[in-house]
Amino acid sequence: MPPDSSRHAGRMQEGRSFPHQPIMKNVLTIFGMTLLFAACSSSPIQVGETVTIDMVADGFTPDPITVQKGQQVCWINKDTHGRWPASNIHPTHEIYSAFDPKKPVVVGETWCFVFDRAGIWRYHDHLLPEFVGMVNVE
Ligand SMILES: [Cu+2]
């Protein structure tokens, strides 16, 4: 009787532990992937997130920023007059000519641009060229 019941108990424990293993593995895998994703998303900013730069009375904020190639960056005008973010060099904007709304962004409006070229892209406000910024595209 005692050997039988102990063998039975042993089998029961095995039977209990086996179904848990794949679940624990999945939990650990998901946990690991979450950590990896969190580590990757801290910096630089990942493609797909909305990256917004405020155009305020004293310039651009945040500045500088680092994004991945293909990232859309939006400039929102929180100033009290028209603003115009554009690629250097003022006044031609020829370093990255597509990086230019070609007209002022009115108060409260947003202008967005997708950076499809890696590089360090310096820009300025075409209406207030003393305001400068930088987008680092990796
Ligand atoms: Cu300019």
Report how far ligand 1's centroid is from the alpha carbon of 62 (Å): 20
The 10s digit of each residue's pLDDT in 57-66 is 999 999 999 9
CA of 119 to the centre of ligand 1 (A): 19
Q: Pick 23 or 59 by higher pLDDT.
A: 59
- What percent of the chain has pLDDT above 90? 64
| Ligand 1 centroid distance, CA of 87 (Å) | 7
118 and 73 in one domain? yes
- State whether 32 and 68 are in the same domain: no
CA distance 24 to 122: 49
73 Cα–ligand 1 center, Å:
18
Could you tell me if 22 and 69 lie in one domain? no
pLDDT tens digits for 86-115? 999 999 999 999 999 999 999 999 999 999
Q: Which residues contact 70 (CB under 8 A, 6 or more apart)?
A: 47, 114, 115, 116
**128 alpha carbon – ligand 1 mean position (Å):** 8
- In this predicted structure, what is the pLDDT of residue 40? 43
> Mean pLDDT score of the chain, rounded to an integer?
81
The pLDDT of residue 127 = 98
Model pTM?
Answer: 0.67
- Summarised one tens digit per residue, pLDDT across range 121-138 is 999 999 999 999 999 999
Vertex 98, ends 93 and 102: CA angle to 5°? 70
Counting the structural domains of the chain, the total is 2
Any idea what the CATH number is for the domain that residue 60 is in?
2.60.40.420
- Do 61 and 118 sit in the same domain of this protein? yes
